Amino acid sequence: MRVDLHVHTYPASSCSTIVYRDLIACCRERRLGAIALTNHGDVGDNRRLEGPLAEAGTVLVHGVEISTPCGDFIVYSPDLDYLAGFKDLQAVPQAGSIADHAAIVWVHPAAGGGRSGSAFRASLTEQVAPLIDAVEVWNGNWTDTRYVAAAQRIVETLNLPATGGSDAHRADRIGRCATEIEAEVGSTADVVAAIKSGAVTPVAPPGAGRRAGHLFDLFRR
Ligand SMILES: [Zn+2]
Ligand SMILES: [Zn+2]
């Protein structure tokens, strides 16, 4: 099942223009089985949209994006009170401090921290390794080969699962990148389990597939 694991809505993300009716209409029109909402340190929209999206036939996958001196991370968990404890701008969580019901993904690693302004450096890979469950290889805002290749290199170095998400801040960008999940997704817990077990594959944006295939061939050699 294909799920966009990285979407921002307004007002929980002040930088997004995707309002509730946009998201609900998109899910309804495209018959999306599931979609993640990953706002910047704010789960208010997750709380408000879960019911209306369920009525549209879409499972809302709960997440929150945090920006740290080591870059940006998304924490996914079915427990909204737990997610509410994270802030848009904060310290890097301690390795081992993430709850068992949560998964944490290093998003757009090579682009650095969106709100923290931190820059990517290769030494971060080992530093962040004990914390993360997966790496976002395809992000709809960072599709240049250098970003994708750097993320893929981290995946290969750490032998971790890879995900994809649009990082949409505009309705027409939703689903530009996504994650193929091997099982049906009926809940956030299903996504957490899929990420942790590696049952996830990043989906490149339209037109980037061949380029990506070539890229991944290079790494396989
Ligand atoms: Zn970010
Ligand atoms: Zn984001």
Give the chain's mean pLDDT: 94
Q: Domain spans of the chain?
A: 2-220
- Tell me which ligand sits closest to the C-alpha of residue 13: 2
**Is residue 128 within 8 Å of 106, Cβ to Cβ?**
yes
CATH topology for 2-220 is TIM Barrel (3.20.20)
* pLDDT for 220: 46
Q: Which residues pair with 134 in a beta bridge?
A: 105
| Assessment of whether the complete model's pTM goes beyond 0.85 | yes
Ligand 1 center to 9 CA (angstroms): 13
Ligand 2 center to 220 CA (angstroms): 29
* H/E run at residue 65: strand 59-68
What's the whole-number mean pLDDT along residues 47-54?
98
* pLDDT for 207: 84
Contacts of 110 (CB under 8 A, 6+ apart): 120, 142, 146, 147, 150, 151
Ligand 1 center to 221 CA (angstroms): 31
- Tell me which ligand sits closest to the C-alpha of residue 165: 2
Full DSSP string of 164-203:
EE--BSSGGGTTSSEEEESS---SHHHHHHHHHHT-EEEE
**Whether the predicted pLDDT of 131 surpasses 80:** yes
pLDDT single digits (tens) 66-80: 999 999 999 999 999
- Rg (alpha carbons) of the chain, rounded to whole number: 16
Ligand 2 center to 147 CA (angstroms): 15
* pLDDT for 208: 82
- Tell me which ligand sits closest to the C-alpha of residue 71: 1
* pLDDT for 221: 37
pLDDT single digits (tens) 109-127: 999 999 999 999 999 999 9
Q: Which residues pair with 179 in a beta bridge?
A: 3, 202
* pLDDT for 44: 98
- Tell me which ligand sits closest to the C-alpha of residue 63: 2
**Whether the predicted pLDDT of 212 surpasses 70:** no
